[in-house]
Structure 1
Amino acid sequence: MMRSLFSGVSGLKNHQTRMDVIGNNISNVNTTGFKSSRVNFEDSLSQTLTAASQASGTTGGTNPKQIGLGMKISAIDVNFKDGSVQSTGINTDLCLSGNALFVVKQGNQTFYTRNGAFNFDAEGNLVNAEGLYVQGYMNASATEHNSINTNGATSSIQIRAGKTMPSSSTQIANYINNLNASAATIKSVTATDSNGQAVTPPDPCTVDGTNIAAAVLTMSDGTTQTVTTGTYKIGNSIPLSTTVKVYDSLGSAHVVPITVEKTAANEWMAKLAKGTITEEDGSLTTLTMADATIKFKDSGAYESGSAVLNLTYSQGNGAAPQKVNITFDKLTQYANSSTINAEADGYASGTLDTVTIDESGTVVGTYTNGVLRKEAQIAVAQFTNAPGLTKKGNSLYVESNNSGTPNIGTAASFGATITASALEMSNVDVAEEFSNMIITQRGFQSNSKIITVSDEMLENLINMKR
């Protein structure tokens, strides 16, 4: 008789625990990055009245006679499936999907979280709502802007407002895109002087506005073109005007004019348009560059050709003499429009303007000089058994004996994804929780009825003596 009472009590107690878990799930239905839990039951000990017997020659075997002694909780599991992505529009909010957690620190203690509601504090530290430091990989290089070493130890991410970037002088310029293989060439040149009188032009003919004020070019395609400036050679195409922006050692920009013209089949020439530049401050920049022959294969692919541009600055500028290597290996020559353009490295000094976090978890700084710099890479941790982590409150977890040790890296290295300007919603399924609530309530009521009926039976037994 007493066994049923104890079984009923165990049912009441453990169904109450299950209701506590359900209540906690529902209360966190809107908690960022919250992972719901579930309660699993199992039967408790059983009292054996008669053990099982083996079959004999005259009788068959019999099953054991056992009376259960109630139930108990076998586990309270954490469901680590991803929650839905909720867009927030705040660029420091991050939604993490997949088997990974953000890493945050308080002193020497490390915590893990799925709540990616981060922001920068007054010192430029990336922190969560409790002020714990978000961990990642900082870009320690003064010159490398496009990559971050993620093989070392993590550290707190700190990006101070007003951070400056030193200037970088130009070292190389690359010409890209296409030169028109069908470009028309000059067949003949007629010229007039400043008085409008016809003159016999030299070859090449330089139109300077005085000795030769204008020239009419007759092209191989039958068209004519009147020009009032520039140098033109019979058999060559009309020069294409390009510029290379060169930054000196002090970060000042200098625009160098270079022309490119076709000289033969599959062959072009690049040369300086002038030897000196008068800068806005009145200083002079002296330019030297040997004419460069650019050759292409019959397929239109680049074959050979390069140049070295030397710049010498007048004393008023103060910058050091400079050499810029010019390459043409990214050019093609197809029968299409000429779209040649020069891309050069180097930049002026700048101040950090804005900070954003992209889809890979990279913190990108935009500077006033137009340069984008990868400032840091947010780190994530992966556990073999993430549900084995211990909850510490404030949406934080710590490592446990059964979680495994954390593997720290980037989201991409673990197959996880980060959605910027968004947060992960709770993965609580309210409909499922309500269904579980009803089932738990009925289980609790049933166990309470066991206690009530057992009490009545005991009362009847006592009344037999009266």
Structure 2
Amino acid sequence: MLDSIYVGMSGLSAFSKGLQTISNNVANMNTPGFKTSTPQFEDVYYGQRFARNTPGAPALMPYGSGVDYGYASLNMSQGDIRNSSGQLDLAIQGNGFLTLLDGGTPRYVRTGQFTAGTDGFIEDAVSGFKLAALDLSGKPVPISMTDRQISAPKATSVVKFTDNLSPGATDFSIPDVEVYDATGGKHKLTIAFSPDSSIMPGRWKVTVSDEKGLPVTESSLQFVGGIVMPGADTIDLTLTSADAPPLTLKLDFSNGVTNFSAGSTSTLRMADQDGYAAGTLTTMSINDAGQLEFQYSNGKTDHTDSIAIANFADPQQLIQTGKGLFDASHASPPAYGASGRDGAGRLLSSSVEASNVDLSREFGQLILIQRGFQASSQVVTTANEMIMQLFQMRGQS
């Protein structure tokens, strides 16, 4: 009967630990990226005693000594994906884990709320570990925001024009042609055209003036058969400024500029120019390649390497350590991939993965554990009563 008490006590202990697991699941129902655990119980056979000596029967037979709390198996099913207000918040739709670097030690999460740290690296707001991307060799390395807050300016080198300059027009000008110097300063040019057929038919005089109306250069264009004469379809000029180095650029009329008669109406216009001002970071998002992409106020973009997504052959080998982190020190090394490739899920920006806690399932488990605990308690009570009866019988005898 003492053995029965110990068996009942093992049940009380095991079901208490199971209750702790269920309680932890319920408590984390609103924790982003949390994965529930399912209690797993194991029968216990400590001793052996002789079995009946019958033909074919074993000489020894183990006897049950109760139950033990074996382990808690992780439920790796995906939680709901929810939108968030953080531009650097990330979630994975599908398989895989985001990789964080704790110094040189990798940690893994299913979701993360990231910020730009004081050292310029992108780090998890909860743990402080650095988000990793894949370098050219496929190794996870921390992502740096250094030099990504500003998009450097680029000086204009070529201004391209297109459409028609009608020979029926006496004078024509294109105002407010914007170009940029090496410091990102913007300059507005006016380009005036006037027919000059005194030397040769189809010739036009071209005068370039700055925003103050001062002439910068004078040159000419020669049309033959309605198109600009090859080899004479560009004009070089240099702008000077007190705030920037001299800007040398080229006006290019070789791309579809024509000289066909259209009365007094000309449609010649600037098609493109390759310079731009400095830009400040406006938004961040994940592109189709799984890269963190930066958009700037000057219309330019930049991006990091592809964010590292780790795939494990057996995610059950991971250990949940708190703060949404998983430890993989006892698991087989993961295979790294990018968003939507190599078996990895798709990265979603401005999103977080909610907990996968199912309250109805947890309450069902809670009822089963409660009944098990009550039954084990009843076993202990009954065994204790039987022992007391023995003591009473001994006293009566």
TM-score of Structure 1 vs Structure 2, range by shorter chain: 0.7 to 0.9
Aligned equivalent of 2:3: 3
Q: What secondary structure sits across from 1:349 in the alignment? A: coil
Query: Normalising to structure 1: TM-score of the pair?
Result: 0.64
**Equivalences for 1:51-70 in 2 at 5 Å?**
53-54=55-56, 67-70=63-66
Task: Report whether the alignment pairs 1:355 with 2:283.
Answer: yes
1:316 to 240, 248, 265: 240
Q: How many residues align?
A: 361
Aligned equivalent of 1:435: 364
1:72 to 68, 72, 90: 68
Aligned equivalent of 1:419: 348
Q: Residues 68 and 369 (structure 1 numbering): CA distance in 2 closer, same or farther, change over 3 Å?
A: same
Task: Report whether the alignment pairs 1:104 with 2:35.
Answer: no
Q: Residues 126 and 155 (structure 1 numbering): CA distance in 2 closer, same or farther, change over 3 Å?
A: closer
CA distance in 2, matches of 1:405, 1:244: 58
TM-aligned CA deviation for residue 433 of structure 1: 0.8
Q: What secondary structure sits across from 2:360 in the alignment? A: helix
Task: Report whether the alignment pairs 1:155 with 2:142.
Answer: yes
Is this contact kept in 1: 2:44–2:67, CA < 8 A? yes
2:332 to 394, 397, 404: 404
Is this contact kept in 2: 1:353–1:366, CA < 8 A? yes
TM-aligned CA deviation for residue 76 of structure 1: 1.3
Task: Report whether the alignment pairs 1:455 with 2:384.
Answer: yes
Aligned equivalent of 1:278: 209
CA distance in 1, matches of 2:68, 2:218: 89
The residue type paired with residue 210 of structure 2 is: E
**Equivalences for 1:53-452 in 2 at 5 Å?**
53-54=55-56, 67-130=63-126, 132-137=128-133, 151=138, 153-159=140-146, 163-170=150-157, 205-208=167-170, 275-281=206-212, 282-285=214-217, 310-314=234-238, 316=240, 318-322=246-250, 344=272, 346-358=274-286, 360=288, 362-375=291-304, 377-401=306-330, 403-413=331-341, 414-452=343-381
The residue type paired with residue 440 of structure 1 is: I
Question: CA offsets per residue over residues 282-314 of structure 1, 9 Å max, x none?
Answer: 3525677776999xxxxxxxxxxx999534114
TM-aligned CA deviation for residue 116 of structure 1: 1.2
TM-aligned CA deviation for residue 129 of structure 1: 2.2
Question: CA offsets per residue over residues 65-89 of structure 1, 9 Å max, x none?
Answer: 7642222233311111111122222
CA distance in 2, matches of 1:292, 1:135: 61
The residue type paired with residue 155 of structure 1 is: P
Query: Normalising to structure 2: TM-score of the pair?
Result: 0.73
Q: What secondary structure sits across from 1:445 in the alignment? A: helix
Q: What secondary structure sits across from 1:118 in the alignment? A: strand
Question: CA offsets per residue over residues 78-119 of structure 1, 9 Å max, x none?
Answer: 111111122222222222232222222333333222241112
Q: What secondary structure sits across from 2:35 in the alignment? A: coil
Question: CA offsets per residue over residues 403-425 of structure 1, 9 Å max, x none?
Answer: 22133342222431222222111
Query: Among the aligned pairs, what percent are the same residue?
Result: 23
The residue type paired with residue 169 of structure 2 is: V
Q: Residues 29 and 429 (structure 1 numbering): CA distance in 2 closer, same or farther, change over 3 Å?
A: same
CA distance in 1, matches of 2:18, 2:364: 13
